[in-house]
Chain A
């Protein structure tokens, strides 16, 4: 059976020949110092930066599918992702589905009608995650998904991510929080100077 996501020889000016494999329902934590190329790795997988290498989803080559379709299936979510209109709700491809996610992430019901400027950094971070979730991606590339969140909101995001994993979504998670990596990830990888290497299994907390 092919892996959910497989990456062979992925190269950009920053990332050097990364190989990785992600199965359905699996979470892979990526660690490394700031500036080591973690975000660059996720951007390259999402095809947001020019890159070389063979990337497949369910065995299907990324290069054989239009880039917008690829990014709906393999979606990169990062902390300072932008907002392009004033109203929060206009950023969602499916507002009704978005409304259903809000309470699970501790966001108020009316948040979709807010102007973007009213949402706090932490609220925006969760809304940006919902923006991706309503499109049902097969793989989520999450860059510090709880960086700006308090413990309660962090726990809610992690609960949602666990549900997604149980439903078969694959997650590559960049996090500085070792506890979060332990709580969510099945395997860990380390990025140093653009080189990516596997550091091993993570013992799962129950």
Chain B
């Protein structure tokens, strides 16, 4: 089955739907018309730019350029993790911890996926590496932001209970075990939910894309299953690394709780 190419007119027709939304917003004075318009324009511009970049990356097949693009994606995702924290670790830890955990986990899982499972030729083929990395980063980012936010919130909320355990001679890991486990579970929840709902409630975007592109559903499903395993693996590793790092940073070598290393976000 050949791919049906879309024309500019097809897109323009679909964009009329936004006018319906915008009209409703104006009539009901919801105030979303302007943000909606801006978001729509951003989306179109960003996606066309990405198409240009991807086309170049695919054509050049340079491992260094691909690696560079992957790093830029990782750094942007790290910024997103930071933006989703109500309380931040002091110094470079706030950005560094989330980003470091995410990049480490994503790199590990991507190498495994590319070298062992998918095996494109060459293995760093941007056509495989970049879209897969995008999906991995998107999921890991949600997991890590949730886990870190849960941990830092719970540590402040349960301060007296944590210090009571420390005062009785618990180690920092024992004293923070309850909040740490809570953070780990919260970080893993989205990917667990996504796996259970996949196929019943939602057809994943990648699988849909492949099917629209003419791939046999059976093949598309196998790719989707692989991706889901990579996503949960990466999320698990990243959430574990980030939360261990945060517990380490929020306590010190004398097993004290160090909330002085945490600051509430100042909204400017």
Contacts and interface: CB of A to CB of B under 8 A. Distances in A.
Q: Do A and B bind each other?
A: yes
A75 B158 contact: no
Contacts of A75: 167-169
Interface string A75-94: 11110111111000000010
A179 interface: no
Given A48-B163, A68-B170, A93-B168, A82 B158 contact: yes
B160 A82 contact: yes
Interface residues of A, number: 26
Contact of A77 (B159, B162, B166, B167): B167
Contacts of A76: 167
A82 B161 contact: yes
B256 interface: yes
Contacts of B164: 81-84, 128, 131
A46 B165 CA distance: 13
A67 B256 contact: yes
A132 B178 CA distance: 21
Contacts of B167: 46, 48, 71, 75-78, 81, 132
B169 A72 contact: yes
Interface in B121-179: 158-171, 178
Given A49-B256, A50-B256, A68-B255, A82 B162 contact: yes
Nearest to A46: B167
Interface residues of B, number: 21
A69 B169 contact: yes
B216 interface: no
A83 B159 CA distance: 10
B158 A68 contact: no
B252 interface: yes
Contact of A47 (B159, B178, B256, B258): B256
A81 B159 CA distance: 9
Contacts of B159: 82
Contact of B255 (A67, A80, A83, A131): A67
Contacts of A93: 168
B169 A81 contact: no
B218 interface: no
Q: Determine which residue in A50, A67, A131, A135 has the highest number of CB atoms from chain B within 10 A of its CB, and name it.
A: A67
B146 to A, nearest CB: 22
Interface string B234-268: 00000000000000000010111110000000000
A131 B161 CA distance: 13
Given A82-B159, A82-B160, A82-B161, A48 B169 contact: no
Interface in A136-160: none
Contact of A135 (B158, B165, B166, B169): B169
A69 B168 CA distance: 9
Contact of A48 (B158, B171, B178, B256): B256
A100 to B, nearest CB: 18
Contacts of B168: 71-72, 75, 93, 131-132, 135
A84 B181 CA distance: 13
Nearest to B260: A50
B178 A84 contact: yes
Contact of B254 (A67, A72, A83): A67
Interface string A8-42: 00000000000000000000000000000000000
A84 B167 CA distance: 13
A104 to B, nearest CB: 20
Q: Determine which residue in B163, B167, B178, B254 has the highest number of CB atoms from chain A within 10 A of its CB, and name it.
A: B167
Contacts of A77: 167
Contacts of A66: 255
Interface string A41-76: 000001111100000000000000011110110011
A75 B164 CA distance: 10
List the 6 closest pairs (A to B, CB-CB), nearest first.
Answer: A82-B161, A82-B160, A72-B169, A81-B164, A84-B161, A67-B254
Interface of A: 46-50, 66-69, 71-72, 75-78, 80-85, 93, 128, 131-132, 135
Given A50-B256, A135-B168, 5 more contacts: A47-B254, A48-B163, A68-B170, A82-B160, A131-B168
13 contacts: A48-B256, A67-B254, A67-B255, A75-B168, A77-B167, A81-B160, A81-B163, A81-B164, A82-B160, A84-B162, A84-B165, A128-B164, A135-B169
